[in-house]
Amino acid sequence: MNKTFTVGWLGTGVMGVPMAGHLLKAGHSLLVHTRTRSKADPLIAQGAEWANSPSEAAERSDFVFTMLGYPQDVERIYCAEDGILAGCRANSVLIDMTTSNPDLAKRIAGKALGRDAQALDAPVSGGDVGAKSGKLAIMCGGKKETFDRVLPLLRAMGDKIELFGSSGSGQRVKMANQILIASTMVGTVESLLYAERAKLDPSRVIGLIGQGAAGCWSINQLGPRMVESDWEPGFFVKHFVKDMGIALDDSKRMGLNLRGLALASEFYERVEKEGFAEKGTQVLLEVLRKMNES
């Protein structure tokens, strides 16, 4: 029988709830905290217990996971007076699965060490589909011994899990992921708009080209949602705008000029300004249609 632990979980969004749910199903005890308590109700209904603060969740947990929206949320949850670092146990492990800033991941790891705890940055890819199915890609940064301790829990949420190096490395792999997706999504919506304008059946186009050299996650997973005009979020536009900003800033520090990413970022920012920040990234097609109305 696999060993079970008390796990703290902070962040109950589109992906956080199913990810934490997998830990419950694996037999772990779950303490959950979020700014809006009602958002924890689905997990509490499954057997999770409410924690009144991040520090309380950390005080009572062997492992603490965070799945938040923005780097500023991560900094607040970890570093505030009632934050995770104020309450974490010695020898506990703090795992941030938010897509965040590599430098922040390094700072948190250093602060955790000062509390005799360990930290791992472990952002994910796979959207709501991967979160619900437990088949996320999880990219990790931290010490090998820390990764090995957390790996059995990560396997409840993902099926492609790798350690890439020291703290911050997981975030940088996620940036490489987001850089690729950013331009791929632009190509996806341009391809489908072209097919529409040519009066082709977009579902059949997706079914065929999605199996050839053009096949990718964006066309095969999000293409059908676009055909159905389903703009509900598997991944929020506003969060992708945030991710591209992190990638562009980190690239500049490396002396890189990523013009394709910069162009994609401009498109996403326009989508956000059009009022679609809370929609899924597949809504780019709707905005591109409007941009091409004659």
Residues with catalytic roles: 174
3-state secondary structure of 158: strand
Question: Which tokens belong to 28?
Answer: 């772990």
Length of the chain: 294
Q: Measure the N-to-C terminal CA separation of the chain; round to a whole number of Å.
A: 64
- Give the single-character DSSP code of 13: S
Burial of 180 (0-12, 13-18, 19+ CB in 10 A): middle
219: alpha, beta or left? (left if phi > 0; alpha if psi -120 to 50): alpha
Q: Give the list of residues 6+ apart from residue 212 with CB closer than 8 angstroms, or none.
A: none
CA distance 116 to 154: 22
Amino acid at 272: E
Other Cβ atoms within 10 Å of 178 Cβ, number: 21
Question: How far apart (Å, rounded) are the C-alpha atoms in residues 131 and 157?
Answer: 7
Alpha-carbon span 40 to 32, nearest angstrom: 7
- Give the sign of the dihedral formed by CA 199, CA 214, CA 124, CA 256: negative
Distances (CA, A) of 49 to 2, 6, 45: 21, 11, 9
